[in-house]
Amino acid sequence: MGRHHEVRAAAMARTGKIKSALYARASKEAYMAAKQGSPDPKTNLALRAVYEKYRGKSVPRDVFDRAIKKAQGGDAVAYVEGRYEAFGPGNSLLIVDTLTDNPNRALVEVRTQIVRKGGHLGSVIYNFTQLGILAFKGTNRDEVEEALILGDVDVQEVELDEDTIYVYVAPDAFEKAKEVLAGLGITEFEEAEIRMEPNEYVTLSDEDKQKFQDLVDALDELEDVQNVAHNVEL
């Protein structure tokens, strides 16, 4: 069950608009985590998870600091989560997660971009599985897998890709997996989040792949969009 990983951080650096949307995503997640708990990531696991999620995506520390300060203030912003499923170019499938203070705007903007690129909304979630993803530098795949199994972690897969190890676990085993990895001295992650992963990947024609990439780029520019999961091998 090989899995292929796009370098989202590189895509986010393509335009100022995409970078701005990335900062907005990080800010909203940090705000929500700090609003519901301590402003200190050492004691607030949710806030620590936000830091880890965006660590490899070149988000400046002051983005988090401003969000935490805002959360400690008197004003409250009511962010609402949303999820939209869609069919894209070729045989592509997408799940678009949003976090917004205006759900109607989020729906209209997401649907507009999908339709413009030749897609349409529809149920596709049965083609995806929610998994915890932990990626870090290393080559000792067998040692990592053995430690996780002995630690009674619900491991789905451990994959070595050049000098990076990818660990896939059940969502409720995510924190336990991090504890086991910490016992191996692994505390810095390139990726550390729970997200939707496709059960199978598809390969598109060059024409459809370009249309699909244009669609993903357009969605990435929307500040209400938090994450885009898909089944396309890029």
Residue 210 has what pLDDT?
A: 93
The answer on pLDDT for 183 being more than 90 is yes
Using the predicted structure, report yes or no on whether residue 125 has a pLDDT greater than 50: yes
Write out pLDDT tens, residues 153-178. Answer: 999 999 999 899 999 999 999 999 99
Q: What is the pLDDT of residue 75?
A: 66
2-16, 95-109, 120-134: lowest mean pLDDT where? 2-16
When the pLDDT of each residue in the chain is averaged and rounded to a whole number, the result is 88
Over 50: is that where the pLDDT of 126 sits? yes
**What's the confidence (pLDDT) of residue 49?**
86
For the stretch 57-95, pLDDT in tens is 788 889 999 989 888 886 677 889 999 999 999 989 999
Percent residues over pLDDT 70 in the chain: 93
pLDDT, tens digit, 9 for 90 and up, residues 10-68: 444 456 777 888 898 899 999 988 888 888 888 888 888 888 888 777 888 899 999 89
Confidence bin at 110 (pLDDT 50/70/90): very high
| Neighbour-count burial for 125-138, b at 16+ CB within 10 Å, e otherwise | eeebeebbbbbbeb
